[in-house]
A and B are shown apart, each in its own frame.
Chain A
C-alpha cells in the first residue's frame, strides 16, 4: 500500500493564480482531512470529508474549496492564491471519524505564493 500520496511536492504560485492540490489514499478510509502547517502554529484543519460526496469546513476554510467524488481522492482547490496561503499542506485519512482512529498523513505539499 502506498498509503496517502500528495502531488505536487512543491509549487510556486503567483498572486491570483489557481491550483489544485491532489490527495489520494489506497487504504479504503472513509475520512479524509486537509491541514495547513505554518511555522510555530501547529496543524490547522482546513476541510474534512466523512465519505464520498460529503465535506465540511474545518478551522480555516476561507480561500479553499474541496470535493470528494470518490473514496480515494480528496483534492484541495485554491481559487485566487494569496501570500497568506504560503504554507505546507498535509492531507490525512482515517478509517473512522472518532478520535480513536489513527490519522495517516501524506508527505505534504510546500506551497509558496509570491
Chain B
C-alpha cells in the first residue's frame, strides 16, 4: 500500500512534443505528490508538486494532472526540449511527519 507505480520506464519524445509520465498509488492516505527531476550525475531536485484537493497544477511547461478517484497522477511536459532530458521521479507523502515514497523513475530523452 506504500508503493507508487511509475510508467513508462523510459520515453523518447521529439523536440516540441508532449512528454507524459504516469504514476499510480493505492494508499488513499497519501496527501502530497511531488515530482523530482534528476540530470545525469546530479542529485534529484523538486520540479513541481500537487495536493490531492487540486485536479491540476501548472508551472510553465510542466503540468501535473491529478485524478483522485482513479488514484493516478501524471506529469505533462509541453513543448519538450532537449534540455528536459533527465530522469523524472514521482513521489508520495503519507501524512504527518512521514517520509516520501518514490516511484522507480522515468528516463526521458528529447531528441533534437
Contact = CB atoms under 8 A, between A and B. Distances in A.
A21 interface: no
Contacts of A60: none
A90 B102 contact: no
Interface residues of A, number: 24
B63 to A, nearest CB: 19
Contacts of A100: 32, 49, 51, 93
A58 B97 CA distance: 13
B75 to A, nearest CB: 15
Contacts of A106: 43
A102 B46 CA distance: 7
B99 A45 contact: yes
A108 B104 CA distance: 17
Nearest to A110: B41
A99 B104 contact: no
Nearest to A106: B43
Interface of B: 6, 9, 31-32, 34, 41-46, 49, 51, 89, 92-100, 102-105
